Amino acid sequence: MSSAHTASYRNVDALRAGLSRRKTLDQLFVIVGLIVMLACLMVLAVLFIDLVRDGAPRFSLDFFTHFASRNAERAGILAAWVGTSLVMLVTALCAVPVGVAAAIYLEEYAPKNWFTAIIEINVTNLAGVPSIVYGLLALGLFVYQFDLGQSIAAAGLTLALLILPIVIVATREAIRSVPKSIREAAYGLGATRWEVTKDHVLPYSTGGVLTGMILGLSRAIGETAPIITIGALSFIAFLPQSPFTGEFPFISFQWLRDPFTVMPIQMFNWVSRPDQAFQANAAAAGAILLAMTLVMNGIAIWIRYRFRKKINW
């Protein structure tokens, strides 16, 4: 056998050994990642079970339908869960359309120059700014400058600013993942840029957009520092006005200017009390807050699944 054939066989053996080593490393990485994921899920499950166990005596209809009280046995989370729901509604309605529109402009329409580069850097950096900074900004802008006061509107806009960078970054990454061939095919058939974006890019990137929305709203629902900064109440014994009225136009926006409280603040108020009964209330409220987050995320995941199913069809 010639030396050339011998060297060729050696190269093949070395290549096979390298591929085998890489496959082993890949399998090891998968195993380590699976172990880490399971460990994190176990920690979360233990914490959730501990909250449910501590707050189990307080799980009742009265706990959901009663206002906060100085008597731990009669205290409830009615104002807190209603306030949380309304604040998250305002947050989603403000952050998601603006964030998606900004991402579409930056990715599909904006020219690639130094100005857009500065915007992109600032958007990325804003995602890591501490939440208390947003609270201070909102205190000066929404509460005092725009005269919204300590209201649901101020809280919703504050949290919308907080999660806006997250929505923008996630949406841009989803838009980038759409193959260029889809755009080129649509342009080849005579579609305009907006038609390509509306009919092809957005439907294919809906999963990533909803993922960004899930991440943003999951962060917003548990934030406390910016809400405290703008003056949310820790004790409230009334509900905001109803958004529906019996007279034309049958919709009222007065509730946006009403004071409020949210679940994290109610929990903080109870945890700060030495009475053990209030600790049980806080544990029950924490379990309910986690359940609200899971329900909200579950709805978004279901919507994402439906969109992906339509695309596969």
pLDDT 10s digits, 222-235: 888 888 888 777 77
In this structure, the answer to whether residues 228 and 143 fall within a common structural domain is yes
Give the mean model confidence (pLDDT) for residues 153-175. 87
In this structure, the answer to whether residues 12 and 96 fall within a common structural domain is no
In this structure, the answer to whether residues 167 and 285 fall within a common structural domain is yes
Distance CA(107)–CA(203), nearest Å, equals: 15
Give the mean model confidence (pLDDT) for residues 245-267. 79
Using the 3D structure, point to which of 58, 77, 94 is the last residue of a domain: 58
pLDDT at 35: 92
Domain harbouring 288, CATH code = 1.10.3720.10
pLDDT at 312 over 60: no
Using the 3D structure, point to which of 14, 34, 58 is the last residue of a domain: 58
List, for residues 106-124, the tens digit of each pLDDT value: 888 888 888 888 888 888 8
Name the burial class of residue 309, with classes exposed (0-12), middle (13-18) and buried (19+) by CB atoms within 10 angstroms of its CB.
exposed
In this structure, the answer to whether residues 277 and 194 fall within a common structural domain is yes
Q: Is the peptide bond before 111 cis (omega within 30 degrees of 0)?
A: no
Mean pLDDT of the chain: 81
Number of domains in the chain: 2
The letter for the amino acid at 54 is D
List, for residues 59-95, the tens digit of each pLDDT value: 888 888 888 878 878 888 888 888 888 888 888 898 8
In this structure, the answer to whether residues 220 and 107 fall within a common structural domain is yes
- Helix (H/G/I), strand (E/B), else coil: 175: helix
In this structure, the answer to whether residues 305 and 274 fall within a common structural domain is yes
pLDDT at 141 over 60: yes
pTM of the model: 0.80
In this structure, the answer to whether residues 69 and 44 fall within a common structural domain is no
In this structure, the answer to whether residues 28 and 128 fall within a common structural domain is no
Structure token digits, residue 158? 């504050």
pLDDT at 55: 81
In this structure, the answer to whether residues 254 and 124 fall within a common structural domain is yes
Give the mean model confidence (pLDDT) for residues 119-137. 82
Residues whose CB falls within 8 Å of the CB of residue 98, separated by 6 or more in sequence, listed in order? 160, 164
pLDDT at 252 over 60: yes
pLDDT at 12 over 70: no
pLDDT at 7: 55
Looking from the CA of 168 toward its CB, the CA atoms found within 13 Å total 25
The per-residue DSSP string of 219-284 comes to: HHHT--HHHHHTT--SS--SPPPPSB-SSTT-B--GGGGS----HHHHHHHHHTS--HHHHHHHHH
In this structure, the answer to whether residues 122 and 259 fall within a common structural domain is yes
In this structure, the answer to whether residues 68 and 38 fall within a common structural domain is no
Using the 3D structure, point to which of 58, 73, 104 is the last residue of a domain: 58
pLDDT at 10: 61
pLDDT at 188: 82
Residue of higher predicted confidence among 48 and 17? 48
pLDDT at 3: 57
- For residue 290, give its domain range: 60-312
In this structure, the answer to whether residues 250 and 214 fall within a common structural domain is yes
DSSP one-letter code for 150? S
